[in-house]
Structure 1
Amino acid sequence: MWKEAGINPQSGRSPASNVRFARLAEQVADDLRSRLLVGDLVDATELPIEESLRSQYGVSKPTFREAMRVLEAEGLITIRRGAIGGAVVHRLEAEHVAYTLGMALAGRGVDISDVAQALQEVEPACAAACALRADRAQVVVPVLTELHEQAVAVVDNLVAVTTLSRKFHEAIVDLCGNQSLSMLAGALESLWSSHESAWANRRPEGLDIPPSERLDVLGEHRRLIDSIADGDADAARSLALRHLISSQNYPTAEWPEVLISPASVRARFIETSTGSPG
């Protein structure tokens, strides 16, 4: 009977109505997405209640909720279930790109050394871009200097100094001044940071890296800061590359062929998105 009537027994709708339902949902999602991306609906704000927002589009509740599910899958909103309900807007950041990239690479069976090699191409470019910023003395150098000083203060704690070292690298990318490069390199930094943090947390007792060696690494950070402050892009690029090759050796030597883990990618995304461990 369902077949004769041309109706899907699961949805109760005919193929034609299914197409119309999907198109309406896509149209609503397209409009809301545009409003989110141009800033009409800013980060961390709550969307109007469903009834109010749905009335603007004149669509059914199932159609509207399908549009919201599309936006949630894209990382643009979080739908809150339960008594509170509603949806919260998110501005897309490098972490969202990292999540998608990480899942894609995990699906291809890529190991973390592949990410390390990619970083050796893009992070030095970010360091050079930092050195070319006219406002580097006000915007870049103070941030890097503060992170460097914090790392020196906790050099005896492998986990703490590794965390601050990763923040230093992420800041170079974030402050390079080129949004496209920052987004691309930031996604790679996020993937590497999740790997290096896991390495530091698992090996603080079993792996002996003397504080003197850690200070040597931090000394490379200091020289990189100086080259950026001097506006020497070539030196900044060269120092960043040599430092990456050297510093990446610790976790890759310990775990030479570690595949990118979907669970780790998701845990990192949750931690950076919510501020709490995944």
Structure 2
Amino acid sequence: MTPQGNPAPAGGVRFARLAEQIADDLRTRLLVGDLAEATELAVEESLRGHYSVSKPTFREAMRVLEAEGLITVRRGAIGGAVVHRPDAEHVAYSLGMALAGKGVSIADVAQALREVEPACAAACAGRADRMQEIVPILTRLHERAIKVVDNLVEVTALSRMFHETLVDLCGNQSLVMLAGALESLWSSHEAAWAHRAADTVDIPRAERLKALDEHRELIDAIADGDSEAARKIALRHLLVAQIYPSDQIDVLISPTSVRKRFTDSSG
């Protein structure tokens, strides 16, 4: 409707529908694999010609996809756009913004992780190819963490990589997206804590090594194919590992920090 209450011009409706149709077509091509990750779409004139629409209509379709995080539009002489397949970081961004809008604290994320990450650990132990696809990767991360155990920032980063990898390799894509989004939000919180605590919090070396020993126990349980043991070890470890970063666990999830992590990870 117009401000005077009259019906909107038919041309405006057609403009919106055409833009939606183009966005739908490109979105489908991306999600089914016709357009690979990081593929550069053709320059505007060429791509617009393919759809035989006006420049404003085409650009509106691009804005829709850019708002969804599916493309990054490059302005200027080079034109074009780079496509991005949705991943856990995109889900984390949307989830983080939704939680921030509800005034949720990071403690809520920690609790959710205690529910879903042990399920991912159990799923890893149930994978038939775990000795080829999971155990070697987790072992390398564990060994790297041992070497930098005296550096709180570095060992924290590697520990978070261990947890994120555990989720990423669980084999269930719904869990990968859901738990991966939660891991991303918690990792942002824990990384900020590590930088603050590096010069102020004294965590005995023995305690750091004990936490890493639990990573080793978890790797062994996965290697043995013992899903129930992997589940229990993962939960026990989280109950301890979340203690130190809990100094500000009641802090609300910040839209600014969510946006910063997303833009940093998107490059």
Q: What TM-score results when the alignment is normalised by the length of structure 1? A: 0.93
202-211 vs 97-106, which deviates more? 202-211
* Partner in structure 2 of residue 167 of structure 1: 161
* Partner in structure 2 of residue 236 of structure 1: 230
* Partner in structure 1 of residue 37 of structure 2: 43
Once the two structures are superposed, residues 122-176 of structure 1 have per-residue CA deviations (whole angstroms, 9 ceiling, x without a partner) of 0000000000000000000000000000000000000000000000000000000
Within-5 A mapping of 1:158-197: 158-197=152-191
Counterpart of 1:197 in structure 2: which amino acid?
A: A
Once the two structures are superposed, residues 35-82 of structure 1 have per-residue CA deviations (whole angstroms, 9 ceiling, x without a partner) of 111111111110011111111111110000000000001111000122
How far the C-alpha of 1:15 sits from its partner, in A, is 2.8
**2:257 is the alignment partner of 1:261:** no
**2:118 is the alignment partner of 1:124:** yes
Counterpart of 2:252 in structure 1: which amino acid?
A: L
Within-5 A mapping of 1:86-97: 86-97=80-91
* Partner in structure 1 of residue 100 of structure 2: 106
Counterpart of 2:253 in structure 1: which amino acid?
A: I
* Partner in structure 1 of residue 133 of structure 2: 139
Once the two structures are superposed, residues 89-136 of structure 1 have per-residue CA deviations (whole angstroms, 9 ceiling, x without a partner) of 111110000000000000110000000000001000000000000000
**2:20 is the alignment partner of 1:26:** yes
* Partner in structure 2 of residue 73 of structure 1: 67
TM-aligned CA distance change 1:3 to 1:74, over 3 Å: closer
Q: Which residue, 198, 202, 225 being the options, matches 1:204?
A: 198
Counterpart of 2:217 in structure 1: which amino acid?
A: R
Q: State how far apart, in whole Å, the 1-side matches of 2:83 and 2:3 are.
A: 42
Question: What are the ranges of 5 or more consecutive residues in structure 2 without an aligned counterpart?
Answer: none
Q: State how far apart, in whole Å, the 1-side matches of 2:92 and 2:178 are.
A: 8
Q: State how far apart, in whole Å, the 1-side matches of 2:239 and 2:32 are.
A: 39
Counterpart of 1:93 in structure 2: which amino acid?
A: D
Once the two structures are superposed, residues 3-26 of structure 1 have per-residue CA deviations (whole angstroms, 9 ceiling, x without a partner) of 88x69xxxxxx5322111111100
* Partner in structure 2 of residue 151 of structure 1: 145
Q: Which residue, 222, 241, 266 being the options, matches 2:216?
A: 222
TM-aligned CA distance change 1:3 to 1:242, over 3 Å: closer
187-196 vs 78-87, which deviates more? 78-87
* Count of residues paired in the alignment: 266
Counterpart of 1:152 in structure 2: which amino acid?
A: I
How far the C-alpha of 1:84 sits from its partner, in A, is 2.4
How far the C-alpha of 1:83 sits from its partner, in A, is 2.8
What secondary structure does 1:56 align onto? helix
Q: State how far apart, in whole Å, the 2-side matches of 1:17 and 1:259 are.
A: 45
Q: State how far apart, in whole Å, the 1-side matches of 2:207 and 2:34 are.
A: 50
Q: What TM-score results when the alignment is normalised by the length of structure 2? A: 0.97
Q: State how far apart, in whole Å, the 2-side matches of 1:93 and 1:263 are.
A: 20
43-52 vs 159-168, which deviates more? 43-52
Q: Which residue, 37, 48, 55 being the options, matches 1:54?
A: 48
Q: What root-mean-square deviation, in Å, do the aligned CA atoms of Structure 1 and Structure 2 show?
A: 1.5
Counterpart of 2:166 in structure 1: which amino acid?
A: I
How far the C-alpha of 1:256 sits from its partner, in A, is 3.2
Q: State how far apart, in whole Å, the 1-side matches of 2:195 and 2:112 are.
A: 24
